[in-house]
Amino acid sequence: MLLRGGRLVDPAAGIDALLDVRLRAGLVREIGPHLAPEPGEETLDAAGAVVAPGFVDMHVHLRDPGFPDKETLATGSRAAARGGFTAVACMPNTEPALDSVEILAGLLRRARDPEVACRIYPIAAMTRGRRGGETLDYAGLAAAGAVAFSDDGSPVADDAIMRAVALRARSTGRRLIAHAEDEDPMVRRDLTLARETATAWHIAHVSTAVSAAAVAEARRTGVDVTCEVTPHHLVFTSELVRERGGGAKVNPPLRGEDDARALRDSVRRGEVDAFATDHAPHTAREKALPFERAAMGFTGLEVAVGAYAYALPDLPLARFVAMLSANPARILGVPGGTLTVGSPADVTVFADRPWTVRSEAFASKGRSTPFDGMRLPRAVVATIVAGSLRYRAEGPVSA
């Protein structure tokens, strides 16, 4: 396939220029101005659009195994492709939890089904059953394909066990992902353990000014820590709970405007490494329950590109692309994140073309997002995984 006429933005390679990209046999084959199509080559007109390394969402819930009413690998990966993601890392809060080599192997076998539209990287549990009591064979889990370790929404409460997890997982080189719920104290505890044990850590969905500042300070003083933000924590506040009840319920919760503004400023200052959606699909019935019993979380994959551009319209394009490609790929230690010759042919094409979110048209089974009905400024044009076109938007490329 030949991608013609687009603006190639590859921050890892320091490229921002009008360049064509030729893909062949699953890899980037050639980059240059005005490449001529070869006989039999498919072409994609990217004039007016940005051609970027495939986006990687390092925080999604795919619900496999255990919750096919909420999402399946087929629906979740199709949602990813529609959202511009060529790869996603899925959290282990499944049933059973992703806590053994056998369970990971089963997931990865299902992920090879032709119905599955993107690459899937499992994040394994930190403790048996995510119950916070028993450490696991981290080297074995990493060898079986785990790209990181996390107990997701049930973070390890016992400091001694958390320290043991860190010391045993450290040699895998895979990051521990803190999914702090009672956020500020837990983030502080984990940053202290990251420092003391010299273990690579990642703080998921930072949502408060205090946590964002603590991560930045830890990093300034030598801790190997990275962090991510979701689109909803950048845009919405707890005001929304009054309007929408369970529809606005998410963990960590929506905060005040001061926190949302502080997070946007942290991104602008380069203190946040990655954009991640925390795509958390639930059935309509589970989201419609009274607030106390409603399911937590929003479906995120199909709005992400537009939502981040809405939250941070002034973010330089190279930074926008890096936060969605090079940075998450580096944090997880997975291929991709660049389009230099020889790299995987995973490509996201997007354009500054306003569109209106219609959740009823989502590929995801989850339809609950606070962005529903909103007009967003940036849209996905095409998603290419290993050289195959997995999504192509209808209509012209640019506005």
Known catalytic residues?
A: 278
Q: Least distance to ligand DOR from the beta carbon of 122, Å? A: 15
Helix segments in the chain, DSSP class H: 73-82, 101-111, 138-143, 159-169, 183-197, 209-220, 231-235, 239-244, 257-268, 284-288, 304-311, 317-324, 326-332
CA dihedral 234, 299, 359, 6 (to 10 degrees): 70
296 binds ligand DOR (CB under 6 A): yes
Contact predicate 250/235, CB 8 Å: no
Shortest Å, Cβ 236 to ligand DOR: 13
> Shortest approach of ligand DOR to residue 86 CB, angstroms?
22
Is 247 an interacting residue with respect to ligand DOR (CB under 6 A)?
no
The pattern of x and - marking residues 68 through 107 that bind ligand DOR according to CB under 6 A reads -------------------------x--------------
Closest approach, Cβ 150 to ligand DOR, in A, equals 10
Residues 6+ apart with CB under 8 A from 139: 171, 172
Chain-centroid distance, C-alpha 345: 19
What is the C-alpha separation between 46 and 396, in angstroms, rounded? 10
Closer residue to ligand DOR (CB): 295 or 312: 295
Q: Is the CB of 2 or the CB of 62 nearer to ligand DOR?
A: 62
**Binding-site size, ligand DOR (CB under 6 A):** 9
Kindly write out the interface string for residues 26-65 of this chain, putting x where it contacts ligand DOR by CB under 6 A and - elsewhere: -----------------------------------x----
* Closest residue to ligand DOR in the complex (CB): 297
Nearest approach, Cβ of residue 42 and ligand DOR (Å): 38
d(CA 367, CA 152): 22
Candidates 122, 153, 155, 366; binder of ligand DOR (CB under 6 A) is: 153
Q: Which of 144, 138, 187, 145 has its CA nearest to residue 164?
A: 138
What distance in Å separates the CA atoms of residue 128 and residue 141, rounded to the nearest whole number? 12
Q: Considering the complex, state which of residue 93 and residue 383 has its C-beta at the smaller distance from ligand DOR.
A: 93
- Cα dihedral value 154, 155, 160, 161, nearest 10: 60
Among residues 68 and 354, whose Cβ is nearest to ligand DOR? 68
d(CA 246, CA 237): 14
Does 299 interact with ligand DOR (rule: CB under 6 A)?
no
Q: Is 297 in the site for ligand DOR (CB under 6 A)?
A: yes
x/- string (CB under 6 A) for ligand DOR, residues 259-288? ---------------------x--------
Distance, in Å, from the CA atom of 392 to the CA atom of 380, rounded to the nearest integer, reads 8
Q: Which is nearer to ligand DOR, 107 or 250 (CB)?
A: 250
For residue 253, the minimal CB distance to ligand DOR (Å) is 9
Q: Which is nearer to ligand DOR, 155 or 336 (CB)?
A: 155
Interacting residues toward ligand DOR by CB under 6 A: 61, 93, 153, 179, 250-251, 280, 296-297
